Structure 1
Amino acid sequence: MIEKEGFASLVLRLRAQGITDLDLLTACEQTPRSQFVPSQFVPDAYSSRTIPIECGSFMEGADLAVRILARLQLKPGHRVLEIGTGSGYMSAVMGRIAERVLSVERYKTLVQNAQARMDSLSLRNVIIRQADGSNGMLGEGTFDRILATAAFTAVPRFYADQLVHGGSMIVPLVVTEESCMMVRLTKTGSRFEREDLFPVSYLPLASHIAVYL
């Protein structure tokens, strides 16, 4: 019951923000958010509050998660790279729309928990891997979309080679010590067109840490 009521109120809030993408909302409805939050936070699963998870990480409030995915403009057939799996909620929603999702996470515990959730939802096209995504994922081919949920201090140009022409990435960029902006970078030839979306609060990406965890 919590699931149905929570999702219904989320949809109303999203519609008020102009988010009406039926494929995305259907994918969210098919991905029970209560399975991704620690048990004590199940009543808050569909709220807009940030929820702490294992390893000192957190998952975005429901509104922000779907708002980001809406800006990603995912289509069937897309290959997606996600930097920062976290709980795996966004990976799972994307997996219901895209052809393949490769999600990388530095914490082994988060990788194992997210993989267990993908297995329970029978999402075979979502691959969770423990890796350091700070310099891209060379050897994995190209992607139509890249999503990062850890902040970069500058436009991560090394990802340009991994995006198809016309592909885009959404990434939080540190603007000042106190502020961070979610931006969409669309690849045109060898350069990025940048579009500032909305302010967010994200942790800076810690590189080379996956090896130790």
Structure 2
Amino acid sequence: MAAVPNPPEKMMFQLTLRRRGISDQAVLRAMEEVPREVFVDPADRGYAYRDSALGIACGQTISQPFVVAYMTEQLQLQRQHRVLEIGTGSGYQAAILSRLCSHVLTVERYRTLADAARMRLQKLGYDNVEVLLGDGYDIPPGAGTFDRIIVTAAMEQIPEALLERLEPAGILIVPVGPHHGTQTLVRVVRTDAGFDRRELVDVRFVPALPGIAREL
């Protein structure tokens, strides 16, 4: 039987986020409301609220809570925003985003992960999230543009096609760097003059790969 999170660890979860500098109350509330233990492998549920990444199916990971909160805070979400996420994974980041904006389109290249995340999010009632099996480097034209874009896998460089999906004053958060090593989290804002790029913190993410994965 899988372990379940103990109450002191859940309490430390919020305290750790605050101590590490997360101050947006809406983000903290979303992190409190979304049951992280549902998004990790059953065997890891006892570790769900530790500030560490955990492995999930298809060789992917669920990011550590601080990174999820930090990236979400950097998006400066507003209730009316439409958000694109590349790299659904277990659906945890999409669930957090769903509490803070009007609609989330999340794209996953592994069918196993996409199907499981879709069912999980539907079961929890997060009905403003759409899970798409697809290629994060080739978003369907009909998907339109977005107020915010978040990439939860490492890109060696930011594709021009992704930048063009940003609405004016839109924000993109993406880990940029080598696939096997340390990346830098980059925040890009679309301005009247072009794109304002700022480097934030060093991170480690699994690679963002093109195409839809072979069945796993």
TM-score (norm 2): 0.92
How many angstroms apart in 2 are the aligned matches of 1:3 and 1:72? 31
Q: CA deviation at 1:105?
A: 0.2
- 1:203 Cα deviation (Å)? 2.2
Kindly indicate whether the alpha-carbon contact (under 8 Å) linking 2:155 and 2:179 is maintained by their aligned counterparts in 1: no
- What corresponds to 2:129 in structure 1? 126
Q: Is the 8 Å Cα contact of residues 3 and 34 (structure 1) preserved in structure 2? A: no
Instruction: Please identify, of 98-107 and 189-198, the stretch whose mean Cα deviation from structure 2 is larger.
Output: 189-198
Matched, 1:189 2:177: no
SS of structure 1 residue aligned to 2:78: coil
Change (3 A) 1:41 1:177: closer
| 2:47 pairs with one of 20, 44, 47 | 44
Q: Secondary structure at the match of 1:92?
A: helix
CA distance 1:7–1:175, shift in 2 (3 Å): same
Structure 1 residues 127-172: Cα deviation after superposition (integer angstroms, max 9, x where no partner): 0010011133422111110000111111222122211100010001
Q: Tell me whether 174-183 or 140-149 shows the greater mean CA deviation.
A: 174-183
Q: Deviations over 1:100-146 (max 9, x none)?
A: 00000011110111111111111111000100111334221111100
In structure 1, how many angstroms separate the alpha carbons of the residues matched to 2:77 and 2:7? 24
Q: Judging changes above 3 Å, is the alpha-carbon distance between structure 1 residues 113 and 98 closer, same or farther for their aligned structure 2 residues? A: same
* Match runs of 1:65-80 below 5 Å: 65-80=68-83
Determine the C-alpha separation between the residues in 2 that align with 1:8 and 1:175. 35
Is 2:100 aligned against 1:97?
Answer: yes
- Matches of 1:185 and 1:175, distance apart in 2: 19
Structure 1 position 3, deviation (Å)? 6.3
Gaps of at least 5 residues in structure 2 are none
Q: Distance in 2 between matches of 1:22 and 1:14?
A: 11
Q: Residue 31 of structure 2 aligns with which residue?
A: 28
Matched, 1:56 2:63: no
Contact 1:180 1:201 in 2 (8 A): yes
Q: Unaligned 5+ residue runs, structure 1?
A: none
2:138 corresponds to: 135
Report what 2:176 is aligned to.
173
Structure 2 CA distance for partners of 1:176 and 1:46, relative to 1, 3 Å: closer
